[in-house]
Amino acid sequence: MSERSGGERTGFAVVGTDTGVGKTVVTAGLVGWLRDEGVDARAIKPVQTGFPTDDDATFVREVCGTDDASTCGKRLQPALAPRIAAAEAGVELSYGAIRRECERALAASEVGVLEGIGGVRVPLTEAHDVLDLVADLGLDAVVVACADLGTLNHTALTVEALAQRGVATHAVVLNQYTGESTAERTNPAAIERMTGVPAHTLSPLDLETPTNAVRGVRGQLPAAVLPVET
């Protein structure tokens, strides 16, 4: 996890094995959990694509009930990887600028929670991807993955890619878990054996009331899922 010069922890990353696996829900739940404990936690979205249909920072604010709960960098309309969305929109994305903005947001928060975009190898710019940003910021990661068939391969490859860049995976969250299939029921233990990382399950949440994200995440996941102490 990132540290200030005095050794004070400043954050971690929530990354996904793919797009649509539930990173934003888990991010919002963890940020709300920390804020409920009196921690000045803030979600940091480096780039938002698919805007305004997709607006992860606003969702976190709704969940936590305050604008202070999230910040977002560049917003782009095309629902594509940031590098491609920027090219389609005629906008130039600078990796240096993205990194500096994230560093400022981390430094301004007691705990900053960087939310990834899609999977970890999604390109941010021509030469850098989400994995580069997490590694360069010195953050540990919580990996969010789907709970059902196919997740073993995706999750193991994601944890391996993070490890190759020196990023420690603190926990895996298997989202939308129902336990209805053999794959779902056996995946948590299989992932722990394959990766050596604790795997936790999160059942579907009723998000018509956004604050249910905090209640659900806090109610279903152990405190050990947080890479910081509360």
Please check if 74 is assigned to a binding site: no
Given the residues 35, 42, 45, 170, the one annotated as active site: 45
Please check if 175 is assigned to a binding site: yes
Please check if 187 is assigned to a binding site: no
For 92, how many CA atoms within 13 A lie in the half-sphere containing its CB?
A: 3
- Record the tokens describing residue 195, joined without a space: 């990766």
Please check if 115 is assigned to a binding site: yes
In sequence order, the 6+-apart residues with CB closer than 8 A to the CB of 35 are 41, 64, 66, 69
- Record the tokens describing residue 123, joined without a space: 């390109």
Containing 114, the helix (H) or strand (E) segment is strand 111-119
d(CA 113, CA 132): 16
Please check if 22 is assigned to a binding site: yes
d(CA 13, CA 106): 11
Please check if 116 is assigned to a binding site: yes
Please check if 197 is assigned to a binding site: no
Asked if 74 is an active-site residue, the reply is no
Structural contact between residues 27 and 43, judged by C-beta atoms closer than 8 angstroms: yes
Please check if 65 is assigned to a binding site: no
Q: Which residues are annotated as part of the binding site for ATP?
A: 20-25, 56, 115-118, 175-176
Q: Which residues are annotated as part of the binding site for substrate?
A: 49
Q: Which residues are annotated as part of the binding site for Mg(2+)?
A: 24, 56, 115
Q: Which residues are annotated as part of the binding site?
A: 20-25, 49, 56, 115-118, 175-176
Catalytic residues, by residue number, are 45
